[in-house]
């Protein structure tokens, strides 16, 4: 069975038909071709599918697509600015080696983004807390935590330069 859905995705209005049983993850990946959001478990255990819903980190595998009605969804693709400029969080992950196989990275990046929207200067403890729903088998998390600390300072210095926050700054 299909139903109509209208929501904002990465800053643009999307109007589409979706299967009523589709998860937000299915709509993003199979319906809209945004395969940056990953499925690592399909059960809310790994965080690979993390996206922002009205600025908060949610598991796209646990949310029905229709629940996105009238909401603002941002995916990892939506953090990339004009001309392919990576966001501060994404750049910091690259620079600090926060992505190894990279399968957890989109979810990690989105969890970090949600955290920094809420707390621009989080303590290490706060960072680890924000990551407990995101599993990574490759890194041992240390370089990811370092990346998020770096992202926080990058964002602060960019904000200090009076620049508008990068895409996704408002979630």
Partner 1 sequence: MTGTRFVGTKFPRPEAPDKVSGRALYIHDVVRPGMLHGAIKHSAHAHARILRIDTSRAEALPGVEAVITGFDTPELRVGFLRENRALKRDKVRNQRDEIAAVAARDPETARRALELIEVEYEVLPAVFDPVEAMREGAPRIHEVDGRGRPTRDNRVPMECRHHSGDLEAAKERSAFRVAGDYEVPWIQQSCMGTAGCIAEFDANGDLTVWAKTQIPFLAQRDFNRALEEMGLEGRNTRVIVTTLGGGFGTGLDTHCYEYIAILLAHRTGRPVKVLMDREEEFRYLSPRQSARVHIEQGCDEEGRLTYREVRVLQDNGAYASWGATFPTVMLLPVTSLYKVPVVHFDAEIVYTNNTYAQAMRGYGNPEVTMAIESNLDELALAAGIDRLEIRRINCNEPGEVTPMGARVGSCGLRACIEACAEKLDWRAKPGRNGRLRGVGMASMLHVGGSGRIYRSDASGIILKLDDFGNVNVFYGGVEMGQGLHSTIRLAIADSLGVLPEKVRVNPTDTATCPWDVGTHASRGAFMACNAALEAVRKLRARLFAYCVDLFPREVERALRKQRAGGPPPRPEGGAAPDRSSPPSAEADLSFAQGRAPGDFELEKGLVFVKDGPDAPWAKIPLDRILRAIHFREGGDMLTETAFYDPPSELPDWREGRGNMSAAYTYGAQAVELEVDPETGEVEILRFVSAMDIGKVLNPQALDGQVLGGLAQGLGYALYEEVKTEEGAILNPNFTDYKLPTAHEMAFPVDLVYVETDEPTGPFGAKGAGEPGLVPTAPAIANALRDALGVSLRTLPMTPERILRALDPSAS
Binding-site ranges for partner 1 (CB under 8 A): 29, 34-43, 45-46, 48, 75-77, 79-80, 84, 86, 90, 93-106, 109, 124-125, 127-129, 131-132, 134-145
Provide, rounded to whole angstroms, the least separation between the CB of residue 121 and partner 1.
Answer: 18
Q: Give the C-alpha separation, 139 to 125, whole Å.
A: 18
Q: Is 36 near ligand FES (CB under 6 A)?
A: no
Contact yes or no for 35/53 (Cβ under 8 A): no
Q: Is 97 near ligand FES (CB under 6 A)?
A: no
In the list ligand FES, partner 1, none, the entry touching 152 (Cβ below 5 to 8 angstroms by class) is none
Q: Please give the DSSP secondary-structure letter assigned to residue 141.
A: S
Q: Give the C-alpha separation, 39 to 49, whole Å.
A: 6
Q: Give the C-alpha separation, 149 to 16, whole Å.
A: 38
Residue 49: how many CA atoms within 13 Å on its side-chain side?
Answer: 22
In the list ligand FES, partner 1, none, the entry touching 149 (Cβ below 5 to 8 angstroms by class) is none
Nearer to ligand FES, 3 or 101 (CB): 101
Q: Give the C-alpha separation, 36 to 75, whole Å.
A: 8
In the list ligand FES, partner 1, none, the entry touching 69 (Cβ below 5 to 8 angstroms by class) is none
Binding residues among 99-118 for ligand FES as defined by CB under 6 A: 99-105
Measured between its terminal Cα atoms, the distance across the chain in Å is: 31
Strands 2-9 and 72-74, by their bridges, are: parallel
In the list partner 1, ligand FES, none, the entry touching 61 (Cβ below 5 to 8 angstroms by class) is ligand FES
Helix (H) or strand (E) holding 6: strand 2-9
Q: Is 46 near ligand FES (CB under 6 A)?
A: yes
Q: Is 41 near ligand FES (CB under 6 A)?
A: yes
**List of residues contacting ligand FES (CB under 6 A):** 39-42, 44-49, 59, 61, 99-105, 136-139
């Amino acid at each position: 069975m299909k139903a109509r859905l209208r929501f904002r995705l990465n800053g643009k209005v999307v109007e589409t038909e979706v299967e009523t049983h589709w998860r937000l993850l299915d709509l993003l990946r199979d319906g809209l071709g945004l395969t940056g959001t990953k499925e690592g478990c399909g059960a809310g255990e790994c965080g690979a599918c993390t996206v922002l819903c009205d600025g908060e980190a949610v598991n796209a595998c646990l949310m029905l697509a229709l629940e996105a009605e009238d909401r603002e969804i941002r995916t990892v693709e939506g953090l990339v600015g004009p001309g392919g400029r990576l966001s501060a969080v994404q750049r910091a992950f690259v620079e600090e080696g926060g992505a190894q196989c990279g399968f957890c990275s989109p979810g990690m990046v989105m969890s970090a983004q949600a955290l920094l929207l809420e707390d621009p200067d989080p303590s290490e403890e706060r960072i680890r807390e924000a990551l407990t729903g995101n599993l990574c088998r490759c890194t041992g998390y240390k370089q990811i935590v370092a990346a998020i600390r770096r992202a926080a300072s990058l964002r602060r210095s960019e904000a200090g330069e009076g620049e508008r926050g990068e895409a996704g700054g408002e979630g």
